Amino acid sequence: MHAVALTGKQQLEYREMIVPPCGAEEITIKVYAVGICGSDLRIFKQGDSRIDMPRVTGHEIAGEIVQTGSSVSGFQEGDRVTLGAHIPCGICHYCQINMGHQCVKKHSIGYQVDGGFAEYIVLPREFVRFGSIQKIAGTTSFEQACLSEPFSCVLSGLREVGARAGDTVVVYGAGAIGCMYIAALKRLGAARVIAVQRSAPRRQKAAEAGADIVVDPSSNNTSDIIAGETGGLGADCVIVTAPSSGLQNEALNVVKKTGSILLFAGIKSDEPPPFDTDKIIYKQLRVTGTHGAPRDLHMEAVKWIDEGLIDFDFFITHTFALYETDMAFHTADGKEGLKCVVQPQKP
Ligand SMILES: [Zn+2]
Ligand SMILES: [Zn+2]
């Protein structure tokens, strides 16, 4: 088969690889769509302590089951599926309390095992037993389905931040994730969603995704606008999808007293960013973070996609053949569009 391996920093190699044999407790998937995640880009640029190169990355996967091991039940050849990212060990504390996405082993597709930028992927035993493999509706495309993983992370963030119908919510950053938050919040009944985004094309996307107010922070004072929109109180919830400690601190200012803040994007700096904890105390805030998503929310994400609760095609702005993966990474890094999807079966 063909696959694209990361062989070093900023080095992707389109190469011939052997399809690994499908073990008795494993499943082989023919990959039809794989999304490029912000984490794929970070690994591409900086490497990752969990990854030994060469490695095929990619964990936002949808495809068709082409082989199941002799002791696999519940799945068969021809099943159209989409996958979660985490490979829970099934036995640690977090796996026992249904939080497999926080498993102490920190194993994920595209990290310790080869991922989706390939024509085929073999799912290891632990993934088949404890990971999330969800069948998709006949009406759902593979491209839509591969959004289930990032969207499950969005649902996890929404659950933790506790946004409710009628709320005013500020979303910092209108990339694929930010726009998914905007669309989901509107679908769930947020009264007003205020998107804050520097780049003009993405401000346009934020508006199309359903944001009621779109702020350009380079020419406006974001805090003043949010104060004006909320009678001086501040937002009920603030969601920071951009990896910026400046914005994380700004969130502390624009949120109302007793409001809640979700920090979604890691800063990954050597020095921990400064954070004004007095604001948390005196404004009586709830500040939370999320990483990944538990299996129940991956199932829920597939339901949103199958039922078309929001327009998932909207988030896919670029598609590429497998041999164009390098170009796909550079396009994703250019931050013009939203989600870039690679289609490994496309000639
Ligand atoms: Zn992802
Ligand atoms: Zn575990």
User: Same domain for 171 and 67?
Assistant: no
User: Same domain for 23 and 82?
Assistant: yes
User: Same domain for 175 and 124?
Assistant: no
Report the domain count for the chain: 2
CA 51 to ligand 2 center in whole angstroms? 18
Identify whether 123 is part of a domain. Answer: yes
Say what the pLDDT of residue 145 is.
98
CA 98 to ligand 2 center in whole angstroms? 9
Identify whether 301 is part of a domain. Answer: no
Say what the pLDDT of residue 341 is.
98
Rounded Cα–Cα distance for residues 177 and 38 (Å): 9
**Which residue range forms the structural domain that includes residue 66?**
2-146+311-343
Residues 6+ apart with CB under 8 A from 124: 26, 87, 113
Instruction: Please report which ligand is nearest the Cα atom of 93.
Output: 2
CB-based contact 159:293 (threshold 8 Å): no
CA 128 to ligand 2 center in whole angstroms? 14
Residues 6+ apart with CB under 8 A from 231: none
Instruction: Please report which ligand is nearest the Cα atom of 102.
Output: 2
Instruction: Please report which ligand is nearest the Cα atom of 87.
Output: 2
Identify whether 160 is part of a domain. Answer: yes
Say what the pLDDT of residue 238 is.
98
Mean pLDDT by 10 residues, the chain (347 residues): 97 96 98 96 93 97 98 97 97 96 97 98 98 98 98 98 97 98 98 97 97 96 96 98 93 98 87 85 97 97 98 98 98 93 97
CA 282 to ligand 1 center in whole angstroms? 35
Instruction: Please report which ligand is nearest the Cα atom of 130.
Output: 2
CA 321 to ligand 1 center in whole angstroms? 19
User: Same domain for 85 and 26?
Assistant: yes
With the CA atoms of 209, 341, 36 and 27 taken in that order, what torsion angle do they form, in degrees rounded to the nearest 10? 120
- Could you tell me the two tokens for 160? 């933790």
Rounded Cα–Cα distance for residues 70 and 105 (Å): 27
CA 95 to ligand 2 center in whole angstroms? 4
Say what the pLDDT of residue 269 is.
74
Q: What is the CATH number of the domain that holds 70?
A: 3.90.180.10
Which residue, 194, 189, 183, 187, is CA-closest to 238?
194
Question: Is omega for the bond preceding 21 within 30 degrees of 0, making it cis?
Answer: no
Q: What is the CATH number of the domain that holds 216?
A: 3.40.50.720
Identify whether 171 is part of a domain. Answer: yes
CA 52 to ligand 1 center in whole angstroms? 19
CA 130 to ligand 2 center in whole angstroms? 9
Which secondary-structure segment (H or E) carries 194? strand 192-196
User: Same domain for 121 and 192?
Assistant: no
Strands of the 213-215 sheet, one edge to the other? 213-215, 192-196, 168-172, 235-240, 255-263, 286-289
Say what the pLDDT of residue 314 is.
98
Instruction: Please report which ligand is nearest the Cα atom of 104.
Output: 2
CA 129 to ligand 2 center in whole angstroms? 12
Identify whether 201 is part of a domain. Answer: yes
User: Same domain for 123 and 12?
Assistant: yes
The DSSP letter of residue 97 is: T
Identify whether 303 is part of a domain. Answer: no
User: Same domain for 178 and 236?
Assistant: yes
Instruction: Please report which ligand is nearest the Cα atom of 126.
Output: 2
DSSP string over 325-336 = HHHHHHHHHHTS
Phi, psi for residue 91 in degrees, rounded to 5: -125, -15
CA 150 to ligand 1 center in whole angstroms? 5
Identify whether 190 is part of a domain. Answer: yes
Instruction: Please report which ligand is nearest the Cα atom of 131.
Output: 2
User: Same domain for 165 and 96?
Assistant: no
Identify whether 300 is part of a domain. Answer: no
Residues 6+ apart with CB under 8 A from 44: 6, 9, 10, 12, 57, 329
User: Same domain for 141 and 158?
Assistant: no
Instruction: Please report which ligand is nearest the Cα atom of 41.
Output: 1
User: Same domain for 131 and 259?
Assistant: no
CA 15 to ligand 1 center in whole angstroms? 23
Rounded Cα–Cα distance for residues 203 and 209 (Å): 10
User: Same domain for 10 and 140?
Assistant: yes
